[in-house]
Every structure is written in C-alpha cells, then in structure tokens.
C-alpha cells in the first residue's frame, strides 16, 4: 500500500504503540517525517541518535525495518555497506485500522453467480 502518511497519522500510531503522551508522539513523528519526507526509505548515516532510537522502537512493530546491502567499490575494491530504514506503510495502516481488511477475490461483489442471470422485465408502451 502506498500513499502519503500525515504527521497526525504517524503521531497517533506512535502514541498508541510506544504509550507516550501526545505531545511527545507528535514531536517524534515530526522528527521522522522531517527525514523521510515523501519517500519510503532513508539512509541510516543521515540520522542522529534521537531519530535512530525512535526508528528502532518502531521497528519492533514492523513500521520500519532495516535493509542492509554490501557493494564492492570498483576502483578501490573496498566493501561499502549501505544501511537504509524502510517505512512499512502497510504495517502502519494495519495498526491504525485493525478491523479493515482487503476484499479477497472470494468475497468479491461478483462472486454471487445469480447477479449474472437475465431477468425478464415487462416493458410497457407509452
């Protein structure tokens, strides 16, 4: 699921999960969204310890997770490690709206075959 996550949506989830006051949750959400913006990933080396601590706490709920990659630099032949924090919007939505669920194919409005039957209607002339 993609889309834009607002400050208040993220703050509400942080408040609920970390059980902190609303003002602290809004501040934490602001710190995170200030770095991530409209993307779904951020480099770990751009984070200060406070932001990293928030992301680490949220990673226990799978809202953020770490993606590690190793790349060999062609000229120096040195290993370069890239660590990114990935924003899992689906996990956030599941926490925000626990009762909502995707419509499965079997539950589709078209699954009832009777809707395809032709019905005879009498047409009256004017």
Q: What is the 3-state secondary structure (H, E, C) of 75-120?
A: CCCCEEEEEEEEECHHHHHHHHCCCCCCCCHHHCCCCCHHHHCCCC
Residue 36: count of CB within 10 angstroms of its CB: 19
Q: State the chain's mean pLDDT as an integer.
A: 83
pLDDT computed for residue 56 by the predictor: 93
pLDDT computed for residue 94 by the predictor: 86
pLDDT computed for residue 125 by the predictor: 64
> Mutual orientation of helices 7-18 and 89-96 as an angle, nearest 10°?
70
User: Collapsing DSSP states into helix, strand and coil, what is residue 72?
Assistant: strand
97, pLDDT greater than 90: no
| Architecture of domain 7-96 in this structure | Orthogonal Bundle (1.10)
pLDDT computed for residue 1 by the predictor: 46
**CA-CA distance, 68 to 110, in Å (whole number)?**
43
| Per-residue model confidence as pLDDT tens digits over 12-42 | 999 999 999 999 999 999 999 888 866 788 9
């Amino acid at each position: 699921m993609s889309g834009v996550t607002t400050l208040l949506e993220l703050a509400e989830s942080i408040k609920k999960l970390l059980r902190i006051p609303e003002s602290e949750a809004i501040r934490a959400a602001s710190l995170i969204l200030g770095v991530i913006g409209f993307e779904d990933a951020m480099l770990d080396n751009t984070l200060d310890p406070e932001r990293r601590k928030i992301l680490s706490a949220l990673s226990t709920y799978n809202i953020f997770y770490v993606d590690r990659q190793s790349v060999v630099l062609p000229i120096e032949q040195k290993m370069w490690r890239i660590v990114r924090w990935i924003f899992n919007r689906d996990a956030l939505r599941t926490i925000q709206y626990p009762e909502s669920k995707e419509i499965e194919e079997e539950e589709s409005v078209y699954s009832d075959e009777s809707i395809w039957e032709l019905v005879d209607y009498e047409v009256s002339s004017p």
